[in-house]
Chains A and B, each alone.
Chain A
Amino acid sequence: MAKRSFKVWRGDANGGEFKAFEVDVDPGMVVLDVLHRIQSRQANDLALRWNCKAGKCGSCSMEINGKPRLACMTRMNIFRDDETITAQPLKTFPVIKDLVTDVSWNYAQNQRIPRFKPRPREADGTHRMYQEDVDRVQEFRKCIECFLCQDVCHVIRDRDAKSEFVGPRFMIRLASLEMHPLDTDDRVPEIRKEFGSGLCNITRCCTEVCPEHINITDNGIIPLKERVVDRYFDPVQSLIRKVRGIKLRTKTRSEASAEGGTGGKP
């Protein structure tokens, strides 16, 4: 057991400050354990979120020594013995209290995404999909909604462009729908015009922090950007479509309904 120094941000929407704590730390502990020890022994009302303690639920997101991390997966032995460890709430979202932020904006983004629309089942009542066709979608579906990627994305964080860009988490949610072998919907116009795919400039910061090691940028966002380019800007692709008589939607559903049309297929 060793004494370690912590600085934990305490406060609420009206402001706050770092408070210092000296805590006994046992071998094998993670930052969340130490915060719990502070909570049970020194500051009963210290607000923080957690559930699984095993990196599976994405509740315990916070900034530890300035980096967005899961507190339950941050082992104390990655820090120097004499290092003071700071814990503070995610910067991108409004503080509720101490280490707890208001992440409801993320839930609102999910609500905007058009739902999964499967093709009909096969005659024997099953859906057939092959493992190699679902590997990529499964990668995206590993997301535990920790929102660390949302926290670190400069479009949301520094430019505060929350109304224009849904953020990396929901780009891969869109990718998981667009690449789902059973899905029949088409969300490309919305991806460009409503969900803001063009705002991502591929810095890959989101991919770096993802605790699920999802290759957010290269496997998710870039392919979506390519779909947008194909649809709107690629003369060859649009010629092929013209020749074959294929019509793809270029207006979003809200644009189309404003003009009184259907927005094309589907």
Chain B
Amino acid sequence: MLDVSEIQTIDHDVMVVGAGGAGLRAAIECSALGLDTGVISKSLLGKAHTVMAEGGMAAAMGNVDPRDNWKIHFRDTMRGGKFLNVWRMAELHAQQAPDRVRELEEWGAVFDRTKEGLISQRNFGGHRYPRLAHVGDRTGLELIRSLQDHGIHQGIKFHMECSALELLKDPHGDRIAGVLAYWRETGRFVIYRCKVVILCTGGGGKAWPVTSNSWEYTGDGIAMAYDAGAELMDVEFTQFHPTGMVWPLSVRGILVTEGVRGDGGILKNNKGERFMFNYISERFAPETADTVAEADRWIQGDKTARRPPELLTRDEVARAITAEVKAGRGSPHGGVFLDIASRQPADFIKRKLPSMYHQFMELAEVDITKEPMEVGPTLHYFMGGIRVDADSQQTTVPGLFAAGECAAGLHGANRLGGNSLSDLIVFGKLAGDGAAAYIKALGSTPRPIDDQVVAAIRRATDILKREQGANPYLLHEKLEGIMSSRVGIVRNQQDLEHGVEELEALKLEAVEMKAPGASQYNPGWHEALSMRSLLITSEAVTRAALMREESRGAHTRTDHPGESAEWVKYNVIVKRGAGGTMEVEKRAKPEGPARLVAIANAKIEDLESGKVGAD
């Protein structure tokens, strides 16, 4: 019999699960508020997904174009999200992002500069003005390193290469009481007892075969929150980034930053045609250039010109590329051409996009200053995730908070590029504040119960002890197959229904997995443990996608084309039902306050002139 008192136990006020931008920012806030704060992450410090972000972080500072302000950023975010965003989150984000970005400078970040010596800002899809603070094309590295180098002097305790398995609850008051985790190095278990858990675990892109996401993105936070009874929201909205590498096969999915298009790159089909002009939707037509001449004037900085269609929102560009390839106008390896070589001088490209230059040179032997790149859609981002309160980031479970990519709400049906990094620092901070407020109001200290720990450990160690069973890597590949064929970039009822059935069957297969070897640094075992999260996350996405009978943002249903005036009024909520089955609910979305609705629907000129939304 397992003796729980013999398991290593560590106490903190707050446990932050995840050391990406959101987790680090949340931890910095908690420790600044005097809380004893621990952080765990599956990888080493500084290796979270955030490090890979390239293009920049969006904040309406108006350093490059003074016409910009938070209301225009808010409006862009709502329109990009096809009005499914949580109004209050989009408001908080647009208002607070500039301060959060400036604060990074205080912690050592060195952004690219304008001629006046201010933080430079670049253009990105869906953003009306140059808005993305950046450092070449390695902005995420700058963000994570600045937070990390600041955070290590704040008294935060970092527990690296330690993976959370399950949230522990105190049955009294149904509150969070801790996290059960294991050290990857030894395979030993550890109980973190705490009053608050802040999940900052990112998305679940690893359920698809072609993705920009790393091994860490197995939806752990989403699944743990679900298991603990929290509600998930909008999970049907999975963003396919329009430009991933397509060749060679082994790098398929690796991201090509939108910065390439922001800096003048254009998309062409195999006829040499700049096809995006054929895919301008009604919503964006008034603000998008309809001739090559106008688009080119915009790139040269003509403020009267409208934006090139290559910079439409990601869902629109990804669908256009898919349509071109389907119509037989694709590139040799099933993508389209992204050309910056013929648009900008070589030294400009090397200076503005150094890591893209290296990435293509070294991985594909393509010199992007001389030839076009081949690109195609790649699964990139989860708009949906754990449902949180807009101001505090608390989930529907007391003591459980979530921020960053694993939380839902800010991005609605489609995220604008650059709005994630700003999301992390805005809502990471707010989650820290929310946690502190919760702890202040907390009466007794919650305590986990042994039974839950014992059951979770048994489930985990069975995978090692079993004589034989399925190879977790092969099951993972099977899952990827299901998600790409059934829950891909375009969906329909029949595929989704098959998807649900296939996932049910896979779940049964996954009950009996076997990881050979010992518990010490055993990736096969880690893979098996993450299958559980992957399956829960995949099932939630598939069931939610089946329920939403319309096409909106990143969710495209061929059997329900177009946005429906009805569905914009609803979120899809997923939660664990009483009997343990997954419940999916169509729930009315709260209406936006009149002042925000007015801003979101205003004409751009009226916002700039202050006619609408004057403070």
Q: Are A180 and B108 in contact (CB under 8 A)?
A: yes
Given contacts A54-B359, A56-B52, contact A28 B138 (CB under 8 A): no
Q: Are A45 and B112 in contact (CB under 8 A)?
A: no
Please tell me if B592 contacts chain A, counting CB pairs below 8 Å.
no
Q: Are A51 and B43 in contact (CB under 8 A)?
A: yes
Q: Are A116 and B145 in contact (CB under 8 A)?
A: no
Q: Are B149 and A128 in contact (CB under 8 A)?
A: no
Q: Are B251 and A59 in contact (CB under 8 A)?
A: no
A138's contact among B110, B150, B477, by CB below 8 Å, is which? B110
Q: Are A96 and B521 in contact (CB under 8 A)?
A: yes
Docked CA distance A129–B473 (Å): 49
Docked CA distance A128–B63 (Å): 12
Provide the B506-526 mask, 1 if CB < 8 A to any CB of A, else 0: 000000000111101111110
CB distance from B158 to the nearest CB of A (A): 8
Q: Which residue of A lies closest to B364 (CB)?
A: A28
Provide the B143-157 mask, 1 if CB < 8 A to any CB of A, else 0: 001000110110000
Complex contacts, B160 vs chain A, CB 8 Å: 104, 107
Complex contacts, B451 vs chain A, CB 8 Å: none
Q: Are A59 and B117 in contact (CB under 8 A)?
A: no
Complex contacts, A110 vs chain B, CB 8 Å: 149, 152
Provide the B230-248 mask, 1 if CB < 8 A to any CB of A, else 0: 0000000000000000011
Docked CA distance A45–B187 (Å): 12
Please tell me if B335 contacts chain A, counting CB pairs below 8 Å.
no
Complex contacts, B216 vs chain A, CB 8 Å: 51
Complex contacts, B142 vs chain A, CB 8 Å: 141
Docked CA distance A212–B255 (Å): 18
Q: Which residue of A lies closest to B216 (CB)?
A: A51
Given contacts A73-B363, A142-B141, contact A115 B150 (CB under 8 A): yes
Given contacts A44-B515, A54-B254, contact A128 B117 (CB under 8 A): yes
Provide the A103-145 mask, 1 if CB < 8 A to any CB of B, else 0: 1100100110001101000000111111100100110011011
A residues 167-222 in Cβ contact with B at 8 Å = 177, 180, 182-183
B110's contact among A12, A125, A126, A180, by CB below 8 Å, is which? A180
Q: Are B250 and A33 in contact (CB under 8 A)?
A: yes
Q: Are A129 and B515 in contact (CB under 8 A)?
A: no
Please tell me if B355 contacts chain A, counting CB pairs below 8 Å.
yes
CB distance from B90 to the nearest CB of A (A): 24
Complex contacts, B45 vs chain A, CB 8 Å: 107
Q: Are A126 and B118 in contact (CB under 8 A)?
A: yes
Q: Which residue of B lies closest to A116 (CB)?
A: B108
Please tell me if B471 contacts chain A, counting CB pairs below 8 Å.
yes
Complex contacts, B107 vs chain A, CB 8 Å: 116
Please tell me if B249 contacts chain A, counting CB pairs below 8 Å.
yes
CB distance from A51 to the nearest CB of B (A): 4
Q: Are B46 and A145 in contact (CB under 8 A)?
A: yes
CB distance from A133 to the nearest CB of B (A): 8
Q: Are B363 and A131 in contact (CB under 8 A)?
A: no
Please tell me if A47 contacts chain B, counting CB pairs below 8 Å.
yes
Q: Could you count the A-B residue pairs with CB atoms below 8 Å apart for me: how many are there?
A: 165
Q: Are B214 and A44 in contact (CB under 8 A)?
A: no
CB distance from B43 to the nearest CB of A (A): 6
Q: Are B112 and A131 in contact (CB under 8 A)?
A: yes
CB distance from B530 to the nearest CB of A (A): 14
Q: Are B523 and A47 in contact (CB under 8 A)?
A: yes
Q: Are B135 and A115 in contact (CB under 8 A)?
A: no
Q: Are B472 and A44 in contact (CB under 8 A)?
A: yes
Docked CA distance A44–B118 (Å): 50
Docked CA distance A53–B216 (Å): 12
Given contacts A44-B472, A45-B525, A51-B214, contact A134 B113 (CB under 8 A): yes
Docked CA distance A33–B253 (Å): 14
CB distance from A212 to the nearest CB of B (A): 9
Docked CA distance A28–B150 (Å): 39
Complex contacts, A27 vs chain B, CB 8 Å: 248-249
Provide the B349-374 mask, 1 if CB < 8 A to any CB of A, else 0: 00000010011001110000000000
CB distance from A20 to the nearest CB of B (A): 18
Q: Are B102 and A125 in contact (CB under 8 A)?
A: yes
Please tell me if B442 contacts chain A, counting CB pairs below 8 Å.
no
CB distance from B342 to the nearest CB of A (A): 25
Complex contacts, B185 vs chain A, CB 8 Å: 96-97
Complex contacts, A45 vs chain B, CB 8 Å: 515-518, 522-525
Please tell me if B105 contacts chain A, counting CB pairs below 8 Å.
yes
Q: Are B44 and A54 in contact (CB under 8 A)?
A: no
Q: Which residue of A lies closest to B214 (CB)?
A: A51
CB distance from B138 to the nearest CB of A (A): 7
Docked CA distance A142–B43 (Å): 20
Q: Are B43 and A59 in contact (CB under 8 A)?
A: yes
Q: Which residue of A lies closest to B135 (CB)?
A: A138
Complex contacts, B521 vs chain A, CB 8 Å: 47, 96-98, 100
Given contacts A50-B215, A73-B363, contact A141 B47 (CB under 8 A): no
Q: Which residue of A lies closest to B117 (CB)?
A: A128
Docked CA distance A244–B108 (Å): 31
Docked CA distance A61–B160 (Å): 17
Complex contacts, B358 vs chain A, CB 8 Å: 55
Given contacts A56-B141, A57-B47, contact A48 B52 (CB under 8 A): no
Q: Are A29 and B525 in contact (CB under 8 A)?
A: no
Please tell me if B474 contacts chain A, counting CB pairs below 8 Å.
yes
Q: Are B110 and A73 in contact (CB under 8 A)?
A: no
Besides A116-B107, A127-B105, 6 new A-B residue pairs in contact (Cβ under 8 A), listed by A number: A44-B515, A59-B47, A103-B44, A111-B152, A131-B113, A142-B138
Cβ-closest 9 pairs across A and B? A28-B248, A45-B517, A44-B524, A128-B117, A40-B473, A116-B108, A97-B521, A47-B521, A51-B214
- Interface set of B (CB-CB < 8 Å, partner A): 43-49, 51-52, 102, 105-108, 110, 112-113, 116-118, 135-136, 138, 141-142, 145, 149-150, 152-153, 160, 185, 214-216, 247-251, 254-255, 355, 358-359, 362-364, 471-474, 477, 515-518, 520-525, 527
- Interface set of A (CB-CB < 8 Å, partner B): 12, 26-30, 33, 39-41, 44-59, 73, 75, 96-98, 100, 103-104, 107, 110-111, 115-116, 118, 125-131, 134, 137-138, 141-142, 144-145, 177, 180, 182-183
9 sample A-B contacts, Cβ–Cβ < 8 Å, listed by A number: A28-B247, A39-B473, A49-B44, A51-B215, A57-B47, A116-B107, A131-B113, A141-B110, A142-B141
